[in-house]
Amino acid sequence: MTSSINVVARVTITPGKEDAFETYAAELSVATRAEVGCLSYHLHRNLNQRGVYVFVEEWASRQIWEQHMSGEAIRVFNRQLPPGTIANIEIDPLE
């Protein structure tokens, strides 16, 4: 039996590119929530650090999350973002 996983992704945006990121991240969120196996998917803005965002996700299984990471919604998101938008990203899958 597979168990669900949680994922926390911390994204640091290059100064001046926050608006573009927020626009495309909102579209990504809508598309992702419609994916089979997505139990929860939320984007939060860090109130203490400008340009830092955190995705908090829950997936039905690690395999489904891995499919999401190579899926259409992520590909579209990456194509839409202006070059250099993301300065750093840390992704932590959690039990």
Q: According to DSSP H, which parts of the chain are helical? A: 18-33, 62-69, 72-80
Listed by start position, the domains of the chain span 14-35+43-48+62-84
Has residue 52 got a pLDDT over 80? yes
Task: Count CB neighbours of 42 within 10 A.
Answer: 11
Has residue 1 got a pLDDT over 60? no
Q: Distance between CA 23 and CA 82 in Å, rounded?
A: 12
Task: Count CB neighbours of 25 within 10 A.
Answer: 21
Given this model, what pLDDT does residue 7 score?
99
Find, among 83, 79, 63, the residue nearest to 31 by Cα.
Answer: 79
Q: Distance between CA 87 and CA 51 in Å, rounded?
A: 10
**15: buried, middle or exposed (CB in 10 Å: 19+, 13-18, 0-12)?**
exposed
Q: pTM of the entire structure?
A: 0.93
Mean pLDDT of the chain: 97
Greatest Cα-to-Cα distance within the chain, rounded to the nearest angstrom:
45
% of the chain with per-residue pLDDT over 70: 98
